[in-house]
Structure 1
Amino acid sequence: MKSNPFIHFIREVHGKFQTSVFGTAQGGQNSQQIAFLRQLQREMKAEEVMSVPLEEFSAVVFDIETTGFFPEQGNEIISIGAVKVKGGEMLEDERFYTLVRHENGLPDEISTLTGITEAELERAPALEEALIQFFKFVKGDTLVAHHSAHEKKFMQHASWKHFRAPFKHRIVDTSFLQRIAEPHTDFVRLEDLCEHRSIPVTDRHHALGDAVMTAKLWCGYIEDVKKEGCRNLRDIYERIAAG
């Protein structure tokens, strides 16, 4: 695998990993890339995200489409979609989407579900390149996902497989806010929650479409939990812990 100008980016964000995986990083990083990496390192070192006021809280809401549920059994990420939010507002122009080239075949049922074709994936970037671009988009922001165990599992697996490093970004689950904003609702599926909240269900099972719907859900919940007296993430976690 040839050297990548973002090797140092991965090393600093995710911790040291074995240079034998990538080889020794070569020169060629321009000043703009170096400035980006230094800024990212400063942002990732910030430990006060728990106390940031919710109206100022920046996050990247994301979703992935996969060929199954078990990365350890060979299921793969085939697309990543994301949108940035600040406080209770979605930043419409701050969006990310990429298909991901896969190593195994694309099951027919997944192609039908997502609308993604084998031919599209053959032209897509490899997962390690897609992840680098995704991390560049995210920078130091907190990640948000709907019932995030799926995303977290695949991200952890991919980070270790391709970079030999743990996945260190914080992921906040929308269900945390749901338990405070609507403690008596038992909806689980994204489309059911969106319909319940009068959020249009569009582009379901498209990574960017699902990310946008999740972002709208998140923004609504941010306003609701603020009305319940939560000022920041620490308040949210403490409220949940208290039952």
Structure 2
Amino acid sequence: MAFEPFMQLIRSVQKRRIGVGGSVQNTQQMAYLRHLQKEMNKENAMLVPLQELDVVVFDIETTGFIPEKDSILSIGAIKMKGSKIIEEEQFYSLIFYDQNIPKDIVELTGISDELVRSAPSIGDVLIKFFEFSQDATFVAHHATHERNFMQYYSTKVFKTPFKHRIVDTSFLYKIINPQFQNISLESLCEYNKIPIIDRHNALSDAKMTAKIWSIYMNKAIEIGCETLEDVYTHFAKI
């Protein structure tokens, strides 16, 4: 589908503050967001050649692990075309949070109460993130965390389910290194001699994950995987 109407919608929505407790005032806008999600489902990314697949590798930092109780503090992302990382196509934003961030989260992420007090709302950030991503396939390391939060907040803020496909890095690295079980991002980076820089910053983690995805995509192609469907087929045999 053409995305220019969606861009026009984005610009109109961004003129309002869309908070967790707010709503998109125009019901037509909400309907269009739902329509966009449905259109994304029609794109069969499973059959696109891996080296032609448009991917957005992303990471989130949160106050905890339970979407119903915790909040997203930041989102970072970088685009890829096949195994190529597009360095100039990056996204990063802090997200407004009006409570005290747990001390262990501040120490882990470096995100303080002061930093998020002036940040844009979750609704504003998600709209910009969807604009950045368009219809690309999402990739995340141990993606259940990202998937749970994105599903919850898409429903809570926009009253529509989150329909982007999110592919977990494990689908690639486990068909190459089946001995790795729920390996951490830093351990996987160390194994592949990828420098660990600014860990637990959402954008930095997304960049390291993109390097992992690139390495293992090329290895998957070497063993005969041409599409995500082939990757899933190999994964099912592990």
TM (norm. structure 1) is 0.83
CA shift digits 1:93-151 (9 cap, x unpaired): 01000000014321121111111111110110000000000000000000000000000
Question: How far 1:57 sits from its partner (Å)?
Answer: 1.1
| Amino acid aligned to 1:192 | S
Q: Which residue of 2 aligns with 1:173?
A: 168
Correspondence for 1:54: 50
Matched ranges for 1:63-212 at <5 A: 63-72=59-68, 74-186=69-181, 188-212=183-207
Aligned residues of 2:37 and 2:164 also touching (Cα < 8 A): no
TM-superposed CA distance for 1:8, in Å, is 8.9
Counterpart AA for 1:214: T
The change in CA–CA distance for 1:153 and 1:45 in structure 2 (over 3 A counts) is closer
Q: Percent identity?
A: 47
Aligned to 2:212: 217
Query: Distance between the aligned counterparts of 2:110 and 2:93, measured in 1?
Result: 14
Amino acid in the other structure paired with 1:64:
I
Using a 3 Å threshold, how does the CA distance of structure 1 residues 50 and 187 change in structure 2: closer, same or farther?
closer
Structure 1 residue 46 displacement after superposition: 4.1
Any idea what SS the aligned residue of 1:6 has? helix
Distance between the aligned counterparts of 1:107 and 1:45, measured in 2?
37
1:22 match: 24
- The equivalent of 1:12 in structure 2 is none
Give 2:54's aligned amino acid.
S
Runs of 5+ in structure 2 lacking a partner? 1-7, 14-21
Instruction: Determine the structure 2 residue equivalent to 1:14.
Output: none
Partner SS state of residue 169, structure 1: coil
Q: TM-score, normalised by structure 2?
A: 0.85
Q: Is the 8 A contact 1:143 1:171 kept in 2?
A: yes
Q: Is the 8 A contact 1:5 1:25 kept in 2?
A: no
1:15-74 C-alpha deviation (Å, 9 max, x unpaired): xxxxx94333589xxxxxx9xx9xx789725432111111111100000000000111x2
Aligned length: 219
Q: CA deviation at 1:200?
A: 0.4
Once residues 26 and 48 of structure 1 are traced to their aligned partners in structure 2, the CA distance between those partners, rounded to angstroms, is 27
Is the contact made by 2:10 and 2:131 (CA closer than 8 Å) also made in structure 1?
A: no
SS in structure 1 opposite 2:51?
helix
Matched, 1:6 2:32: no
Answer yes or no: is the 8 Å Cα contact 2:76–2:206 preserved in 1: yes
Alignment partners' CA distance in 1, 2:217 and 2:9: 37
